[in-house]
Amino acid sequence: MAGNIIGKIIRLTTFGESHGIAIGGVLEGLPSGLRIDMDFVQEQLNKRRPGQSTIVTSRDELDKVEFLSGIKDGITLGSPIGYIIRNKDVRSKDYNDISNVFRPSHADYTYASKYGLREEAGGGRSSARETVSRVVAGALTQIFLTHFNITIKAYVSRVGEVVIRKGYKELDLSIIEESMVRCPDQLTSDAMIDLITKTKEEGDSLGGEICCIISNPPVGLGEPVFNKLNADLGHAILGINAVKGFEFGSGFQSAHMKGSEHNDLFKVEDKKVGTITNNSGGIQGGLSNGEDIYFKAAFKPVSTIMQDQETIDLDGNQITLKSKGRHDVCVVPRAVPIIESMAALVVADHILQNRTASMSDF
């Protein structure tokens, strides 16, 4: 199976299945001498882990990372950082009844068609459990980015039809973690929780959106023509399970605007070049322009629902699927650290790529 590696200088390889012994990763490219805040790494894992609240899957994983190489006494050695997160609370028997069934909107059919077999328990590599490896790597690269004063914050901006009507600059992003759904607006957060609770009672599921802001990026990140920063961010974010849409800057709304409305006019304040508006989302011509980089990711509803659904088995027989097991009604709150992690990996990779852009860098 190919396609398990992302990045050019900072490269992440992930491995493992949802119900296997462990999920793991190998992160290459971080320089030596970087002191790792292990508490921060665990905090990011805790945001993603199952069993953290009443509105997420009850699978109870502590998600403690074990570093196998590349770090000594809390400091990076410059060598590949290998790590695993053991799977503790697996219930593979929950999947016995559907081992020969293609679940609607899951990867069962496509995996079986491509590879000739599939891991039924938990979905194997297609499971969102795989993203725990990305969160570890993302936390490490976020620590690296603090040395450049770059911060990354993401929050839930929509669950189903409940949406924040304010822009990110109107919100207090310091209170994101005070919300069970990671929404920094109290009234909207309460409405999201109510909707998730109601939908759970109906045996159904919900999608949503996450907004991510990359603050204080330098000018010039990105490699035209085929490795534009916005393109690499899109590649990384669209590779997250359940992501169906990516909107950068003004996104699809720009199709409804005139150039006179959309253009970001330049200004100079305190001898620093900036823009009056930021419809470009902080990237122009594929390169960062120094303004906040921001984007949204749209997540589809969870495919497993507690309602009868018509599908087929391996022999092509029409059957009625009765799902069971432990599943999220809406994955969006747990996906916030995954979004932050993938953004961090891309930005950190471009920070290092940028060191080769000009002789002045040597």
Predicted pLDDT of residue 2: 85
Tens digits of per-residue pLDDT, 118-176? 766 667 788 888 999 999 999 999 999 999 999 999 999 999 999 999 999 999 999 99
- Amino acid letter, residue 335: A
Residue count (the chain): 362
Under the banding of pLDDT at 50, 70 and 90, the label for residue 362 is very low
Q: Are 348 and 145 in contact, with CB atoms under 8 Å apart?
A: yes
- What does the pLDDT read at residue 108? 85
Query: Is the bond preceding 136 in cis, omega lying within 30 degrees of 0?
Result: no
| 272-320 tens-digit pLDDT | 999 999 999 999 999 999 999 999 999 999 998 888 999 988 889 999 8
Per-residue burial over 62-74, b if 16 or more Cβ lie within 10 Å, else e, is: ebebebeebbeee
The per-residue pLDDT for 361 is: 53
Beta carbons of 107 and 126 less than 8 angstroms apart:
yes
User: For 322, phi and psi rounded to 5 degrees?
Assistant: -115, 100
- What element of type H or E holds 43? helix 38-48
pLDDT band at 28 (very low <50, low <70, confident <90, very high): very high
- The answer to whether residue 100 scores a pLDDT higher than 90 is no
DSSP 55: T
- Give the domains, in start order, of the chain with CATH numbers: 5-361 (3.60.150.10)
Indicate if the pLDDT at residue 74 is higher than 70.
yes
Report field, pTM of the whole predicted structure over 0.85: yes
Residue 13 has pLDDT above 80, yes or no: yes
Phi, psi of 245 (to 5 degrees): -155, 150
